[in-house]
Structure 1
Amino acid sequence: MANEVIADRGSATPTPRHHGEGNGDSSNALAQPTTRRKIKVDITSDAICPFCILGLRNLQAAIATAQSSDPSSPIAHLDFEFEFKPYLLDPTLTREPIDKREKYESRFGKEKFAVMEKMMKQKGQACGVNFSYDGPVSSTHDYHRVLHAAYAKGGQDIQLPLAERLFSGYFEHQRDPGSRSWLASEAVSSGVFPSLEAANEFFLSDTYDAEVKQGYLKARKMGIHGVPFFVFEGKWAVSGAQPPEAFLNIFRELVKCGCGRTNGNGGTDSPLAVDQNVAAGSDACGDETVDEDGEGLKMNRGKDHNEGRVCGESGTCGEANAMVCG
């Protein structure tokens, strides 16, 4: 009976049941029941940013560590609900696919791109992702529309598996992130639509077009200029593909301060706090022209944001540690 897994709808990971919990074990008859707490995580991301899949993998690793920790630790009793939010990393892309490798070699030069590609493959392998920089790339607007439809249909139970399939398809299997036929097929397989006919009707319509465009604008108004960007309970924010320990630090702060929504209660519109325990300038894809003194939430990048840690939407990259994004 030890470590029996209970399926928890809406949880990003299975919830472990430790020996004696809820199974009639007389040795635990006097033990107080443990209340689990659900943490909402909004993940602003784009299909073509490699750090979005790396950040997701690191977050999932942190969750697994937390939930498998000693039952006396408050973070062992956290569940998580993900919602992916839209961000258009490269607005210049159209629905007409172009060759991904040619795009990068044209932007950076073949020699520089070769170094960048090797670096990203090493980062990917550390997280179990086999990056490939071959294949096509096109606008990700329809990708965001179908992810929005997935969440509207069944929350993270449908959206998260679809996001995983689409990340893997683009980054590992050379699929076009804007291909409506591919998106339709994956959406049907993930349960978003009952048939390809229904999926194709969706893409030919303007359903969720306005909502996704509003999502792009909302990200800007919040001060998000790089992805991935994670917001926990509407209060704690962190940008970039942070290591698992950085996410664990946030979990510890959440249970320590007790802030945010718990067990489905109301949320908050208060300003976001930024985790101060994570390194500034972490791996992310985004816009290098953000005004650090402007309105909106302050991200944990510090003043070294323009020192090569992110790729710019304008097609420029920092020289110190350029990454392959967009």
Structure 2
Amino acid sequence: MTHLSDKIRAAAPSLRGRLVAGASLADLTWFRVGGPAEVLFTPADEEDLATLLAALDPAVPVTVIGLGSNLIVRDGGIPGVTVRLGGKAFGSVAIDGETIRAGTAVPDMRLAKAAAEASLDGLAFYRGIPGSVGGALRMNAGAHGGETTGVFVEARGIDRAGNLRTFDHGQMGFSYRHCSAPEDVIFTQALFRGRPGERAAIEAEMERVTAAREAAQPIRERTGGSTFANPEGGKAWQLIDAAGCRGLARGGAQVSEMHCNFLINRGGATAADIEGLGEEVRRRVRETSGVELRWEIRRIGVPSSAES
């Protein structure tokens, strides 16, 4: 049988990005678990990404991953094409007055730093988010009193047909940890607006965010950040704690003793261990409080053949 990667090369011979069949994804996620990508594509730039999407059979699924910080890749891997943006084309930051344009591969922490260096206030909260700009757009990422929706101006991306599209604030449909822009769009860059501030004060705020995060979260563990979104009017961690789940383990996965809305890979965990532990936490919280916790961590791919 002709492999998908060969079909792609035949359909789009002008591709300049890196196309790898069977690429390991575990090394690209903070949990360090998960199966391979059927095909992993790292485009050279927007044009290259558009070329792939326009040439790709519409029946072939496309999945986008960023820094892998808020992600579980299931043990059977990801069918179809997995796109990972990187390099200068998607990793640059430019300041123009009170606006800052960033590629979607830019880490949120770097966005915060660039804004501080330009004395732009309002983006310091990104210092506490361990993801990239692309993920921040999809999840309306926020922390420490700030949210993406509060500083967002516009974004652009490539849709499944290979068309370049631009989205203003209203078209993003931001809500708590969610945006309603079309799922098939791969965001490539975004424009944010800050406000004039004092660099020293902004950097002090970033230090406060860093200290608070280090004191309260297991950031030196193999983790995926906050596991569940806070329910309306409540805190996910409090419900998890009240359900007796602090320290709960399954295989190599454990609910963090430090912050029980974090799952950690203690070593040797599978994606099934981590996801299964999360589902057990949801079950116990539902039984004790009646609240249905919603996953904040993305879970993508298929189970291993041993699970099916």
Question: For the superposition of Structure 1 and Structure 2, which TM-score range results when normalised by the shorter chain?
Answer: under 0.3
Structure that is richer in helix per residue? 1
Q: Which has the higher relative contact order, 1 or 2, with Cα contacts under 8 A spaced 6 or more apart? A: 1
TM-score, structure 1 as length reference:
0.25
TM-score, structure 2 as length reference:
0.26
